[in-house]
Amino acid sequence: MDTSRGWFAFALGLVISPAAAFLVVAAIIIGASPSGWGYAVGAVVTSVGLLTKRWRRRRGPTRAGLGILLLVAGARLLLADGNDLRTLRLPDEGRRLANRLVDERDGTLLAAHALLLAGQLPRSDARDFIPALEGAFDRLRDAQGLVATPAVATWLGLQSPDAFDAVVISPEGKASPEVAVVMLHGYAGNFAVYCWQMARSARAISALTLCPSVGPSGDWWSRQGEETLERTFTWLARRGVRRVYLGGLSNGGVGASVLAGHVAHPGLELRGLMLISGASSKAPPPRVPVLLVEGKRDSMMPARLMRDFARRAGRLATYVEVDSGHFAFLDKYETCERAIASWLLDRERDARP
């Protein structure tokens, strides 16, 4: 290796080494997934190979580190499929490779720790957030194995009404269900783990679960959000779905309460709304039955706002309040899942002749 190449390799090592150190520290803090640790180890070996003169000349450690990185990325590209959970780009049903490269657990837990350290999440709401999130990812892994996440494409700014990622979870034993649950995500983007948790309740009525993506802010009330929901309904109708339940989490609940009154498809009957930790105080009273699930200690979307929405909905409302904060859907998941499943079953019984 000549002098100029040696200095270039050394400079490249100086650039890579801080990122490698960050990955290792992050992996320790969050208890990273195997692929997360693989990326961290690969980055460390690569940077050490570039920074050490003797190894830089032989190039072995650098090649080994790059080989580890490529092996981890290749494994995720091949294996991140899930069992009955797919992350598709709609409406053409393609797939984005970027969504398969990173374990959703690693990025989500890292962001959650950072938000807590920065004081961006109220302690009253988030005191059980990290353990509950870890538990949710453990259950998702046990049920689905490796899955792709739409969060990557969301943060890369790739979501649009013409090409948006959606998590699609088929019900067991039904190739062409006539009923679907659409769930709108909240702030920070779409995550497979939340969609999968909703699908656990939707199994009670053998419904297809579909969770579309908009931007990181979860602004479903925007024109982009409205058009994305319209395209989602069109895609479902083409697949033979005839009845749909519209749900939303946090900002997604705000969006669902607003959009329910003016986004429709002639081939779909909107059977009800499910608003979890979020609803708009400016939305008109719903014309269909609505389930509201809320944490009584929620300071980000106060319970009084959800109770007020329930009062305005009158007899159409079913209000469930649990002893939690804003993240009730995670830390009280069993109670929330039972409430949603029971409500869906009641609605489907009413739909039968």
Structure confidence at residue 212 (pLDDT): 98
Spatial contact of 158 and 96, defined as CB atoms under 8 Å apart: yes
- Dist CA 306 CA 329 (whole Å): 15
C-alpha closest to that of 328 among 166, 85, 136: 136
pLDDT at 226 over 90: yes
- pLDDT over 50 (residue 239): yes
Q: How confident is the model at residue 4 (pLDDT cuts 50, 70, 90)?
A: low
Q: Give 183-211 pLDDT, tens digit per residue.
A: 999 999 999 999 999 999 999 999 999 99
Confidence category of residue 54, pLDDT binned at 50, 70, 90? low
Assess whether pLDDT exceeds 60 at residue 165. Answer: yes
The overall average pLDDT reported for the chain is 93
The yes-or-no verdict on residue 333 having pLDDT over 60 is: yes
Q: Is the dihedral of CA 110, 200, 245, 302 positive or negative?
A: negative
**275 strand-pairing partners:** 248, 292
Q: Is 147 left (phi over 0), alpha (psi -120 to 50) or beta?
A: beta
Alpha helices in the chain (DSSP H): 3-30, 34-51, 53-58, 60-79, 104-117, 123-126, 129-144, 151-155, 192-202, 223-238, 251-259, 303-313, 328-331, 333-351
Residue with tokens 């939303």: 248
- 347 to each of 185, 318, 343, how far by Cα in Å? 23, 12, 6
Residue 3 has pLDDT above 70, yes or no: no
Q: Flag the least confident range among 94-103, 133-142, 174-183.
A: 174-183
CA distance 55 to 51: 8
Biggest distance spanned by C-alpha atoms of the chain: 82
Could you give phi then psi for residue 201, rounded to 5 degrees? -75, -40
pLDDT of 9 > 90? The answer is: no
The C-alpha atoms of residue 110 and residue 293 are separated, in whole angstroms, by 27
What band does 1 get if pLDDT is binned at 50, 70 and 90?
A: very low
The per-residue pLDDT for range 244-301, each reduced to its tens digit, is: 999 999 999 999 999 999 899 999 999 999 999 999 999 999 999 999 999 999 999 9
Distance CA 99, CA 71 (A): 17
Token pair 């693989």 in the structure block, residue: 38
Cβ-contact 186, 250 below 8 angstroms: yes
Considering only residues 116 and 193, tell me which one the structure prediction assigns the higher pLDDT: 193
